[in-house]
Amino acid sequence: MDIFSYTREAAHCFVERRFLACIAMASSAVEIILNRDGRLKGVANFRSGDGWAYLNNRTLRVARNHGLPSDALLSAGDDLDSQKAIAFVHMRNKIAYGDITHLVSDFTDYDPEAERIADEHEEKMRKLVSEWFNTAPDVQDGHIVNSRWPK
């Protein structure tokens, strides 16, 4: 199942101290769930015009309202109902848009804070994936066959 490829890749990146890649892979794992979970398939206005549901507070709120464990991604002080991006989304956006100066201390090394942030990001992703896996009808009812979601 591709979701587990992403979770494994995030873990490998963390162990190899590729913290930016760890954060990117952990965020991608969450986006895959948002885009493939059967509970979200027919939700009106869930996906953008190009057909993809992007990782943001609104998408996570809709997912939460349809039974997905979006709260697993929250840090202290985060609020999915706020206009301000939660820390998980904020960090994903920083990496995606190349705003990484706060994570890199020079051309060859990460800032010491980068390891903590990547560890926290991966931990939140794993919590969401675990809670999702243990409750998702796609998984529990056997809709995922041969590691593939239904079309």
Closest CA to 38 of 3, 80, 66, 72: 66
pLDDT in tens, 95-139: 988 888 767 765 556 777 888 899 999 999 999 999 999 998 888
Tokens of 127: 């919590």
State residue 147's pLDDT score. 66
Distance between CA atoms of residues 31 and 27, nearest Å: 6
The SS3 assignment for 104 reads strand
pTM: 0.89
pLDDT in tens, 15-33: 999 999 999 999 999 999 9
Distance between CA atoms of residues 70 and 77, nearest Å: 15
In the predicted model, is pLDDT for residue 87 greater than 60? yes
pLDDT in tens, 30-85: 999 999 999 999 899 999 989 999 999 999 999 999 999 999 999 999 999 999 99
State residue 72's pLDDT score. 98
Question: Which residue ranges make up each domain of the chain?
Answer: 2-140
In the predicted model, is pLDDT for residue 151 greater than 60? yes
**What is the amino acid identity at position 28?**
S
